[in-house]
Amino acid sequence: MTLSATPLAAKPVSMPVEWLTAPAPVPYADALAAMDARAGSIADNTAPECVWLLEHPPLYTAGTSADETELLTPARFPVFRAGRGGRYTYHGPGQRVAYAMLDLTARGRDVRAYVAALEDWLIATLARLGVGGERSREGVGIFVGGAKIASIGVRVRRWVTLHGVSLNVAPDLEHFSGIVPCGLYETPITSLAALGAETDMARVDAALRASFAEIFVGRLR
């Protein structure tokens, strides 16, 4: 699998971000390989920045800070070492994953500002869907009424970002019980479906795209 793009002789800072949407769940190893290849092309100035919207089959991923004791049922789903920051998380059908491959050289080389922008992106997206999301002192991610609805995991290589965000639209929330999500022992997990909010993925994607323009255009430039 490749995230193909028209080759560029040079990539201007103002080059529009390319948006791609996978029509079916993407195996995790395939997604990592495609994301790595596209990020390399961005770093080489041969492809534009990219946001890739997709879902995965049910699986758990372990970030660089993952604690093995937080993987409660190791045989339940495949487990992948993700290379991103953070601990264990779940991906599966009904969860919108947005992998953002952005050039931080053109956006200020400030990783903390980038993570804050990802949080703002999720909050703005939820607001468009009629849900009030907020940050929490418990950790990175977005919460609604004390329950976590969205996660963030980032890796940066050659100042190009990899991985991104995941938003619980209508996943099977029981699947999260096989891990301690993000190391948060006492924090419940919620979704747009559990909140009675919008669950049409096309409308969620439209909200993500509109909010991305609101947060990132003219910011981190």
Can you give the pLDDT at residue 87? 85
Catalytic residue selected from 39, 42, 47, 182: 182
Residue keyed to tokens 């992948």: 80
Does 50 qualify as catalytic in the annotation?
no
Contact 189, 92 (CB under 8 A): no
In this prediction, residue 33 carries a pLDDT of 95
pLDDT of residue 117: 96
State the pLDDT at residue 102.
97
In angstroms, the CA 215 to CA 105 distance is: 18
The pLDDT value given to residue 7: 43
**Per-residue pLDDT, 62:** 86
Residues recorded for the chain: 221
Helices and strands per DSSP (H, E), number in the chain: 3, 10
Pairing status of strand 59-62 against strand 79-81: parallel
Q: How far, CA to CA in Å, does 185 sit from each of 35, 39, 72, 198?
A: 31, 34, 12, 28
Position 2 scores a pLDDT of: 67
pLDDT by residue for the chain (221 residues), tens only, comes to 767 654 433 344 457 899 999 999 999 999 999 999 999 999 999 999 999 999 999 999 988 887 888 899 999 999 988 878 788 999 999 999 999 999 999 998 999 999 999 999 999 999 999 999 999 887 789 999 999 999 999 999 999 999 999 999 999 999 999 988 777 788 999 999 999 999 999 999 999 999 999 999 755 54
Pairing of strands 134-136, 139-144: antiparallel
pTM of the model: 0.91
Would you say 199 and 192 are in contact if contact means Cβ atoms under 8 Å apart?
yes
CB 102 within 8 A of CB 161: yes
